[in-house]
Structure 1
Amino acid sequence: MFSKSKIHEPGPKADGTTPVTAETSSAAPSVPPRSSEFKASAPKAKPPVSTLSADLHVTGNLKTTGDIQVEGTVEGDIRAHLLTIGESATIKGEVIADDVVVNGRIVGRVRGLKVRLTSTARVEGDIIHKTIAIESGAHFEGSVQRQDDPLNSKGAGKVPTGAPSKSE
């Protein structure tokens, strides 16, 4: 009827797995069990570019981790990932972005890892960049400074240590 050897011998279990013994563990490398479920994660969709139309006039600061295309007028600072200034656009304030493409007019400081002034660009202010490209025909009045981390405004416009500030 029942034999003792069959009960204690390694063999397939009811769930289809084989128990590991001293004999089988040294002979075969251990392999993690495969999951029967495959969970595919879809790549994150990039958010669309926010566009400020040519008839829009914004007074105030704009901040996003996404991309902005400005065709209108902004009086204030702008911070974005990719900032594109259209030919009809005017920005009066500081611009900070990973990538800045200027086709229009900026009056104020520009900070960017990559800054590009096209032939229609008009910039009045300082540019702090990691890399810069200025096309022939671009108009630029100000200074240009290369920094490894231009997005970090630490020390920019600050009073040197030991010097009196205006509040004293």
Structure 2
Amino acid sequence: MFSKSKINEPGPKASETETPAAPVTSSATIPPADFKSSAPKSKPAPSILSSDLTIKGNLKTTGDIQIEGQVEGDIRAHLLTVGETATVKGEVIADDVVVNGRIVGRVRGLKVRLTSTARVEGDIIHKTIAIESGAHFEGSVQRQDNPLDVNGGKSKAAAADKAD
């Protein structure tokens, strides 16, 4: 069924000892570019901001972020995990938000989870929320069908009236 090819064996080949010829290619060999494109797409690893890192500025990604350090700015991500030692000062917008540390600012998420070590000072706009016993929260909670809509669900007509 399978046979060993002499193309990959070390030493001179019969065709090389006589005259130089065009390179020998095998139909079984797949170039690296083709191999990568046929490989299944894997989910990229989350971006991790370590505990000794301080960022002043906004972060935006379609992937996942795990914060262990300090961030002063707005964050937009698919999954945001705020570690126990982390502090975020700014608005957070993500599909999934897991808070183990501290957030000072508005939180918007389809699923928001405050663990027992969480400290949130600001409003939470969510589709579903879970708050564990021991979590510290100061602010208001509002349920919306689309909490990621930063316009607050206002219609385009209302926005057009306001523009006039």
- Fold similarity call, TM over 0.5: yes
Aligned to 1:92: 89
Deviations 1:65-88 (A, max 9, x none): 000000000000000000000000
Q: CA RMSD in A?
A: 2.4
* Count, aligned residues: 125
Aligned to 1:115: 112
Unaligned segments of structure 2, at least 5 residues: 1-36
1:82 to 62, 79, 83: 79
Scaled by the length of structure 2, the TM-score of the pair is: 0.70
Larger proportion of helix: 2
Aligned to 1:57: 54
Structural mapping, 1:1-168, within 5 Å: 41-155=38-152
Runs of 4+ displaced beyond 3 Å: none
Q: Distance in 1 between matches of 2:41 and 2:98?
A: 25
Q: Distance in 2 between matches of 1:101 and 1:84?
A: 5
Q: CA deviation at 1:139?
A: 0.1
Which one has the largest radius of gyration?
A: 1
Q: Distance in 1 between matches of 2:127 and 2:150?
A: 13
Q: Percent identity among equivalent residues? A: 82
Unaligned segments of structure 1, at least 5 residues: 1-39
Scaled by the length of structure 1, the TM-score of the pair is: 0.69
Q: CA deviation at 1:45?
A: 0.8
Aligned-partner residue type, residue 69 of structure 1: Q
